[in-house]
Structure 1
Amino acid sequence: MTFWVIALVFWYGSRLVADFKRTTFQFFIGLMSTTFSAIQAGNVFSFVPDISSAKSAASDVIKLLDSMPEIDAESPENVHFRYPTRPGVRVLRNLNLTVEPGTYVALVGASGCGKSTTIQLIERFYDPLAGTVYLDEQPITKLNVAEYRKHIALVSQEPTLYAGTIRFNILLGATKPREEVTQEEIETACRNANILEFIQSLPDGFDTEVGGKGSQLSGGQKQRIAIARALLRNPKVLLLDEATSALDSNSEKVVQEALDQAAKGRTTIAIAHRLSTIQNADCIYFIKDGAVAEAGTHDELLALKGGYYEYVQLQALSKK
């Protein structure tokens, strides 16, 4: 295409020059202008696949923005649940449990019994197929999702840290603008998470880089920073999803002390893998096949010699 255009310009331009209608200077201006225009016009076609992809992506974005989710984060009984991707599998069946304000409640059971699903329903990542989740006798479906979640904090089994400073990672838990969070608030959260002394012992203190995914820190240190991040928002409800199961014995002891301190004065719901971490819970719910099979304190459930008792015995054998 480019060479064809150049040939055309030479042919037509030479006739204009021969007839004294254009000067040689004007001819070369026309040649250069036409040639570069032709090159750029040809390059446009190389972007056709990208234009098609952009149109398709824009269509998906507009469709997403126009959709009305069942759980709208911007708008203001017994529980049954199945995951939307696995409608044939019943995860929770007639689940009914009560958590009194300010108490420490533990959920115990075999893998797949519905413990983590219960936490996700409390966070309102999903809504139950039947039944309702209440907070202070108010259905959480009636509450603004964003405001509701400001009063909840989660500490999971695998803490998520991002490349940046310790201060940056802790401030991710703030519910107000970062510039409004005082140093005293950060230090209080770290003190309650049993990590303040360690941070202050570092040469750069809170400005220490944690590396990608917190690679510069040990598992226990990462977990305690995650606890500090959760406590920074001073949550009314603290959710612990097997927060110590991935740690060694020494780290577990330090982190468990931080969790015990964090649980004081607030409602705490913990999923427990190691039963030694929840023996002092105010109430333990033993969940089996998506429903509460037994409920009571550690001693009360042992006295029943039921499913929880067998679970304790199995864990004791696995340690030997």
Structure 2
Amino acid sequence: MELKGIHHVSAITANAKNNYQFYTDVLGMRLVKKTINQDDPSVYHLFYADEIGNPGTDLTFFEIPNAGNTYPGFSSISGTSLRVPDDRALEYWEKRLDEHQVDHDGISEQYDRKVIHFRDPEKQRLTLISDETNTGVPGGQPWKDSSVPADKGIIGLGPSKLTVQNPEPTIHVLTNVLTFKKTSSYPSPIEGQEDIQVYTTGEGGTGAEIHLEIRNDLTRERPGRGSVHHVAFRVENEAELAEWRKKLQSERLPNSGLVDRYYFKSLYFREPNGILFELATDGPGFATDEDPEFLGESLALPPFFEDRRKEIENNLNPLNTKRPH
């Protein structure tokens, strides 16, 4: 029962159409699933990933049209990383972000890796991170029809950054409940703040890290558009997920129980600082109900929503995701 790394990250957008344009046209990621928020079928849930939506490559967005601005603070998932193959790819990305007038900080170094910190149009806090020295969890396959060259393309999710005021309860969950181990730390870019701690699971590397930031100069985050809803960690299969549920119960951590998301099975819980974690199975995957060639082009509904398709489609704003073939 060792978590294999990061499975996906789910964030919030106020506008699915603009979100789709940015993540596919500018970042060159593939929309592998256009579906609904299963907890609110009146809005979209969009999944961007590699060529076939391998676990560990999915950045997803719930559309919440009336979401206000995010006020950053603690008790949050305050940063999401996107992996690129090597340092040379970052040189390409620096120019590309400039061409598309994306707000970014240029190439810098973080934890002995080259990175570019940048923001999407809703101020989602993102980082492109080089896999130049990665020896851990391998990346995925860049989308073959991307506007970004394959040798420069995004190949998966990198470390998620958590920001907390009181680190001990979060550390307890990461190390004593889950299977993360503290492996290193690096200086905070904020003067006067503690070093950022690095926690690793599974094979390690960029696809299996949590970076824990301790901040005593902030208030609690007020989430909205541009904030992260939850981070999910990879579990091998449903049998193992059931064992994880028993473990959470033995630790007296309230949890959702097993939830069928159709493309994977899930288990949700909040660690004591209020950050939402999900454990998710690697399969069955996004080709379960669509031809891999046409992923994301039509509205996909899990079978348990199919009888409501007409009602659901009538309530959604049109979003054309058809691609030329």
Both proteins in one fold, TM over 0.5: no
TM-score scaled by length of structure 1: 0.30
Structure richer in helix, relative to its length: 1
Structure number with larger C-alpha Rg: 1
TM-score (norm 2): 0.30
